[in-house]
């Protein structure tokens, strides 16, 4: 099945009836670009910049940041690159940015944009390095903040981006409050990207680092689909960059919910491209409706698949 999917699936992502769904790669830095290009990524949908900051007691220099960012930006002259600003804290602890005090629940503590607001110099240095790295390049640079909870946080981040000369600010939708009130955040930014890993963690109150809770960390949970729906219909382009996008059936469901692009680890791109190419947008919509009508994750998966005849 994989070989025929690989043969069938090349070129830009689209449904059977030609509805374009850009397929993008999640990368952790320049080292991941070969795989992204080899699997036909149309750009980067999530550049996790934490890797540049891991295992060090001081942040990387401005030049080091600029160099790493430029390498990724240069790989997609015709495409787009979505960079996520530093997501420090919780499952991504960084030595030079420890939480300000004892945190009994780090996933609910200072992480992501919350940490950036406590250390504004880290954010402004990163945004400035991104602006310099993109100067003179044709790629569309989009920059998004992790762990945004409400419209005020989205407005703060968009303001910081524009001050740094970054024209396309967005936010991740990974907190249920932001998903439920996506309509309030939409006027502040140019795009959303749903982080289904964290959105599932927070929707089901199941720490993603606790292995025994795997059954609750399932993005097929109908509650998670119910949270993606308002984000995908809030009036700004809405991608998905969590693991959910790499599941071919769930990718079709997400498109049926109104999601406009999908980003995943590069090896997953061919099977997702093939799954989309075998189904119409209408089939994706019916699969999404059926999944949301189910009462369990397993039920949602089964209901969706019954509307997606092209899946093996
Ligand atoms: C997510 O939360 O779904 C996501 C894409 O980001 P990360 O896994 O890096 O938190
Ligand atoms: Mg996340």
Average pLDDT over residues 194-213: 97
Alpha-carbon distance values, 185 to 12, 246, 279 (Å): 29, 26, 31
Task: Read off the tokens for 197.
Answer: 């890993």
Taking only the tens place, the pLDDT of each residue in 43-64 is 999 999 999 998 888 889 999 9
Q: Is 163 in contact with 130 (CB distance < 8 Å)?
A: no
- Ligand 1 test: best mutation among 219, 224, 242, 265, most atoms within 8 Å of CB? 242
Residue 8 confidence (pLDDT) above 80: no
Q: Taking CA 248 as the corner, what is the angle to CA 243 and CA 253, rounded to the nearest 5 degrees?
A: 85
Ligand 1, atom 9, residue with closest C-alpha: 48
CA of 17 to the centre of ligand 1 (A): 30
Count other Cβ atoms within 10 Å, centred on residue 138: 11
Question: Can you give the pLDDT at residue 5?
Answer: 52
Task: Read off the tokens for 288.
Answer: 């999404």
CA of 125 to the centre of ligand 2 (A): 22
CA of 248 to the centre of ligand 2 (A): 20
Task: Read off the tokens for 68.
Answer: 């790493």
Average pLDDT over residues 231-248: 97
Count other Cβ atoms within 10 Å, centred on residue 21: 25
Residue 1 confidence (pLDDT) above 70: no
Alpha-carbon distance values, 221 to 25, 74, 268 (Å): 24, 38, 21
The Cα 14–Cα 57 span in angstroms is: 44
Mean pLDDT, the chain, rounded, equals 95
CB proximity list for 192: less than 8 A, separation 6 or greater:
170, 171, 172, 173, 182, 185, 186, 231, 234, 236, 237, 238, 239
Residue 183 confidence (pLDDT) above 60: yes
Question: Is 11 or 159 the better-scoring residue by pLDDT?
Answer: 159
Q: Give residue 255's pLDDT band: very low, low, confident or very high (50, 70, 90).
A: very high
Axis crossing angle, helix 248-256 with helix 222-232, rounded to the nearest 10: 50
Taking only the tens place, the pLDDT of each residue in 282-305 is 999 999 999 999 999 999 999 999
Q: What are the backbone dihedrals phi and psi of residue 47, each rounded to the nearest 5 degrees, phi first? A: -100, 105
Q: Taking CA 173 as the corner, what is the angle to CA 247 and CA 19, rounded to the nearest 5 degrees?
A: 50
Task: Read off the tokens for 64.
Answer: 């080091």
Question: pTM for the complete prediction?
Answer: 0.96
CB proximity list for 30: less than 8 A, separation 6 or greater:
68, 71, 72
Question: Is 91 or 146 the better-scoring residue by pLDDT?
Answer: 146
Ligand with an atom nearest the CA of residue 50: 1
Helix (H) or strand (E) holding 44: strand 43-48
- Indicate the Cα dihedral angle 292, 295, 296, 301, nearest 10°: -40
Q: Is 214 in contact with 185 (CB distance < 8 Å)?
A: no
The Cα 266–Cα 25 span in angstroms is: 5
The Cα 144–Cα 82 span in angstroms is: 7
Taking only the tens place, the pLDDT of each residue in 163-182 is 999 999 999 999 999 999 99
Q: Give residue 2's pLDDT band: very low, low, confident or very high (50, 70, 90).
A: low
Average pLDDT over residues 110-139: 96
Question: Which among 118, 27, 7 has a CA at the least distance from the CA of 69?
Answer: 27
Question: Can you give the pLDDT at residue 82?
Answer: 98
The binding-site residues of ligand 1, defined as CB within 6 angstroms of any ligand atom, are 46, 48, 87, 174, 195-198, 241-242
- Ligand 1 test: best mutation among 86, 172, 227, 239, most atoms within 8 Å of CB? 172
Question: Can you give the pLDDT at residue 30?
Answer: 96
Question: Can you give the pLDDT at residue 57?
Answer: 83
Helices and strands (H and E) in the chain: how many: 15, 8
Can you tell me which residue has the tokens 């406009």? 260
The Cα 295–Cα 136 span in angstroms is: 51
Average pLDDT over residues 198-227: 97
Count other Cβ atoms within 10 Å, centred on residue 51: 15
CA of 45 to the centre of ligand 1 (A): 12
ipTM higher than 0.95?
A: yes
Taking only the tens place, the pLDDT of each residue in 21-31 is 999 999 999 99
Partners of residue 170 on adjacent β-strands = 144, 191
């Amino acid at each position: 099945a994989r070989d025929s999917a690989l043969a069938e699936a090349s070129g830009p992502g689209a449904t059977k009836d030609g509805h374009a769904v850009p397929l993008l790669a999640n990368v952790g830095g320049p080292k991941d670009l070969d795989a992204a290009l080899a699997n036909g990524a149309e750009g980067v949908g999530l550049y996790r910049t934490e890797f540049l900051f891991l295992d060090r007691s001081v942040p990387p220099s401005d030049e080091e940041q600029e160099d790493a960012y430029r390498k990724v930006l240069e790989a997609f002259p015709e495409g787009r690159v979505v960079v996520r600003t530093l997501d420090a804290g919780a499952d991504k602890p960084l030595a030079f940015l420890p939480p300000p005090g004892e945190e009994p629940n780090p996933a609910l503590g200072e992480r992501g944009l919350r940490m950036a607001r406590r250390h504004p110099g880290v954010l402004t240095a990163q945004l400035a390095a991104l602006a310099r790295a993109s100067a003179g390049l044709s790629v569309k640079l989009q920059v998004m903040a992790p762990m945004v909870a409400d419209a005020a946080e989205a407005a703060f981040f968009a303001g910081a981006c524009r001050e740094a000369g970054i024209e396309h600010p967005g936010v991740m939708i990974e907190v249920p409050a932001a998903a439920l009130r996506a309509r309030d955040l939409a006027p502040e930014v140019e795009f959303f990207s749903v982080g289904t890993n964290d959105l599932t963690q927070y929707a089901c109150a199941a720490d993603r680092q606790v292995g025994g809770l795997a059954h609750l960390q399932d993005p097929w949970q109908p509650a998670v689909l119910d949270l993606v729906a308002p984000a995908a219909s809030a009036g700004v382009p809405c991608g998905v960059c969590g693991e959910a996008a790499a599941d071919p059936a769930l990718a079709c469901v997400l498109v049926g919910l109104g999601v406009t692009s999908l980003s995943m680890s590069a090896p997953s791109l061919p099977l997702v491209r093939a799954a989309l190419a075998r189904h119409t947008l209408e089939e994706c919509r019916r699969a999404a409706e059926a999944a949301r009508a189910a009462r369990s994750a397993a039920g949602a998966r089964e209901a969706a698949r019954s509307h997606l005849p092209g899946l093996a």
